[in-house]
Amino acid sequence: MSGHVPVMLNEVLESLSPRDGAHYIDGTFGGGGYSRAILEAADCRVLGIDRDPAAIARGQELVKRFAGRLTLVEGEFSRMEEFAGDTDGVVLDLGVSSFQFDQPERGFSFREDGPLDMRMSLSGMSAADFVNSAEPGELIRVIAQYGEEKNAKRIVRAIIKARPITGTAQLAAIVSEAQGPAALRHAIHPATRTFQALRIHVNDELGELTRGLEAAQKLLRPEGRLVVVSFHSLEDRIVKQFLTGRSDAAPRASRHAPAVAAARPQFRLITSKARIPGEAEIAANPRARSAKLRAGEKLAA
């Protein structure tokens, strides 16, 4: 399982607090870093879920190592209710795995040229399918909303003019030229936000996250813990609103507002605000720099 560095591993274990005899769900198995650490921290069981068949195949060596304690299932973590019963903890790492980024043929990165794919599950609509068939308005919406890209209209005009687009290097060059020379002076590559937006759209990442959080709430036993590591503001906002809105720290209704029945809190916040990686981890693993961790503990009924 070399090549994969789990982000904020110590903080994840501290928040999850694995214990003997418990059952946990690693909803984004990826390189297996969290699953391995959980199994080493306690005499427990872990169900690892990943929609990438390559991740499930790589993980078989860990299944053998932790015989009878690790089970892997191919699928979306939003479907965890289909794969598991009540659980003592759920951990989600919402980032693209190092394996996916580092394989040009997967099309997630423009560091090396590859097909414009970006599909985590290796099935369904690819990024190339979307880029080459979508109406201009839909492309603008996706790039502006999911990439938080202020130059979305300019980028889409260039994309429409250049279609068909089949490779990552081709798209990166088109986006960079559309942004103009000033964009090259910024800290991040001019095509980064566009690639992020297309990946989020192709994999329905925000919808998957919303459904997955709801499923985790249903499966968690009292005192079970939900730990989520996100990598951009759209994800973090969803996680924050989910945990805060269902916690005992949720804002109380104004006494001037009409009286309504208050929803019973579902979580106790373990993190009052998002935790971020330390300087040493960011120096050792630059991909961790945008990570934020939020966690909550399920309250008794």
Instruction: Give, for all 301 residues of the chain, the pLDDT tens digit.
Output: 445 679 999 999 999 999 999 999 999 999 999 999 999 999 999 999 999 999 999 999 999 999 999 999 999 999 999 999 999 999 999 977 777 777 888 878 888 899 999 999 988 999 999 999 999 999 999 999 999 999 999 999 999 999 999 999 999 999 999 998 766 667 688 999 999 999 999 999 999 999 999 999 999 999 999 999 999 999 999 999 999 999 976 555 445 545 444 578 999 999 989 999 999 999 999 889 999 999 999 999 7
Q: What is the pTM of this model?
A: 0.91
Q: How many helices (H) and strands (E) does the chain have?
A: 14, 7
CB neighbours (10 Å) of residue 1? 15
The pLDDT value given to residue 2? 44
Element (H, E) at 25: strand 23-26
Residue corresponding to tokens 């860990």: 62
The pLDDT value given to residue 105? 84
Distance separating alpha carbons of residues 261 and 277, to the nearest angstrom: 39
The pLDDT value given to residue 248? 76
Distance separating alpha carbons of residues 83 and 252, to the nearest angstrom: 36
CB 191 within 8 A of CB 180: no
DSSP 183: G
Residue of 265, 263, 203, 206 lying closest to 232 (CA atoms): 206
Give the model confidence (pLDDT) of 117-160 as tens digits.
Answer: 999 998 899 999 999 999 999 999 999 999 999 999 999 999 99
CATH match of 122-202 with 3.40.50.1820:
no
Q: Which spans in the chain are helix H?
A: 9-16, 33-41, 53-58, 60-65, 80-83, 98-102, 127-133, 136-146, 152-162, 168-179, 192-202, 205-219, 233-245, 279-284
Which CATH architecture fits 9-99+205-298? 3-Layer(aba) Sandwich (3.40)
DSSP 106: G
Give the model confidence (pLDDT) of 42-84 as tens digits.
Answer: 999 999 999 999 999 999 999 999 999 999 999 999 999 999 9
The pLDDT value given to residue 257? 47
Q: Where do the domains of the chain lie?
A: 9-99+205-298, 122-202
The pLDDT value given to residue 259? 44
Distance separating alpha carbons of residues 157 and 138, to the nearest angstrom: 12
